[in-house]
Amino acid sequence: MLTIGVDIGGTKVAAGVVDDQGKIVEHTLRPTAADRPDLVADTVADVVRELSAGRRIEAVGVGAAGFVDETRSVVRFAPNLAWREEPLQKKISDMVGLPVVIENDANAMAWGETRFGAGRGQSHVVCVTLGTGIGGGLVFDGALFRGRWGMGAELGHMQVQPGGRPCGCGNIGCWEQYASGQALVKEARELAGTEPERASVLLGLAGGRIDGEEITEAARRGDEVALRAFASFADWLGQGMADLAAVLDPGCFIVGGGVSRAADLFIDRARESFAARLTGRGHRPLADIRLAELGAAAGVVGAADLARQR
């Protein structure tokens, strides 16, 4: 039994035919024009037609970055794709003649990782996706948790620092201002600005503009500022996970996203920070903190599997 999973990103549409073991049988990739939301549905329909040629496809699951309503059909708001109340499910379904479900992309990734990746066999999972910001997805009692209106699991916008850094969401002190790719860069830039003598490797590599890759490379070469930026990042990551555990008591956290490629520079310290801050520590089992296994495929695999369970 085959379904198609589609992952709509800010710059591209990735799609794959997926079997019921979470294996991608065939996949394809198209660029998207972010300023033409009407064309995104056409692009999705296009890739679905291409992938279903000569195959019996049961349904299509689409993961999109944005607030997807609780009926999994309308994207209420997508900051990067200019969608407002976009009836994506109906549009695509009408074009391809197959059942379609729409899901928030972080939810689709969380589901893919839980079912077929690092969370296999786990029933209570918190996925933390470390990209520019922090994305999240929750699986509880073996089911994806969406919240009442489909807007749950916005983990990056928990306020961890009252009076802290302003966030793009309009609030201040959000978790993603301290433990995301963007936060890592901000921290390293600030530290390098105030103590350039401790950032000689980093400043040498960056040549004026410090970004994530330079910070990672500089940290590997022992640059003090880069290491301190990662240490701060790790401490905040552990703090946020401890807060989440206080509320949700998961069996495991799955840490993924682009920044997790540098996990060797922060994951051990994040585990220590988590253990040191956990409510009831010493009297409860410690949740596992695992690295995501499926990489960029998680969204496609998860969306395809969610389409199977419509």
Judged by CB under 5 A, the stretch of 24-32, 118-126, 135-143, 162-170 that binds Zn ion is 162-170
Residue with Cβ nearer Zn ion (158 or 263): 158
Contact region for Zn ion (CB under 5 A) — 144-152, 157-165, 188-196, 206-214?
Answer: 157-165
Mark the segment that binds Zn ion (CB under 5 A) among 4-12, 159-167, 201-209, 292-300: 159-167
| SS3 readout for the chain | CEEEEEEECCCEEEEEEECCCCCEEEEEEEECCCCCHHHHHHHHHHHHHHHHCCCCEEEEEEEECCEECCCCCCEEEECCCCEEEECHHHHHHHHHCCCEEEEEHHHHHHHHHHHHCCCCCCCCEEEEEECCCEEEEEEECCEEECCCCCCCCCHHHCECCCCCCECCCCCECEHHHCCCHHHHHHHHHHHHHHCHHHCHHHHHHHCCCCCHHHHHHHHHCCCHHHHHHHHHHHHHHHHHHHHHHHHHCCCEEEEECHHHHHHHHCHHHHHHHHHHHCCCCCCCCCCEEEECCCHHHHHHHHHHHHHHCC
Of 171 and 194, CB closest to Zn ion: 171
Is position 158 an interface residue for Zn ion (rule: CB under 5 A)? no
Would you count residue 134 as binding Zn ion (CB under 5 A)? no
| 6 is a contact residue toward Zn ion (CB under 5 A) | no
Q: How far is the CB of 173 from Zn ion (least distance, A)?
A: 8
Q: How far is the CB of 171 from Zn ion (least distance, A)?
A: 5
Q: Which stretch binds Zn ion (CB under 5 A): 23-31, 66-74, 113-121, 173-181?
A: 173-181
Q: Interface with Zn ion includes 169 (CB under 5 A)? A: yes
Look up tokens 């409860």; give the residue. Answer: 284
Cα–Cα distances (Å) from 79 to 52, 82, 98, in that order, read 30, 6, 27
Contact between 108 and Zn ion per CB under 5 A: no
Question: With respect to Zn ion, which residue has the nearer C-beta, 98 or 169?
Answer: 169
CB-nearer residue toward Zn ion: 175 or 253: 175
Q: Which stretch binds Zn ion (CB under 5 A): 27-35, 114-122, 144-152, 161-169?
A: 161-169
Residue 83 phi, psi (nearest 5): -95, 135
C-alpha closest to that of 22 among 99, 111, 100: 111
Tell me: does residue 24 bind Zn ion (CB under 5 A).
Answer: no
Is residue 294 at the binding interface for Zn ion, with CB under 5 A as the rule? no
Report the nearest approach of Zn ion to the CB of residue 166 (Å): 9
167 touching Zn ion, by CB under 5 A: yes
Asked if 144 interacts with Zn ion (CB under 5 A), we say no
Q: Is 151 in the site for Zn ion (CB under 5 A)?
A: no
Q: Which of 157, 189, 271, 290 binds Zn ion (CB under 5 A)?
A: 157
174 lies in the binding site for Zn ion (CB under 5 A): yes
Residues that bind Zn ion (CB under 5 A): 157, 167, 169, 171, 174
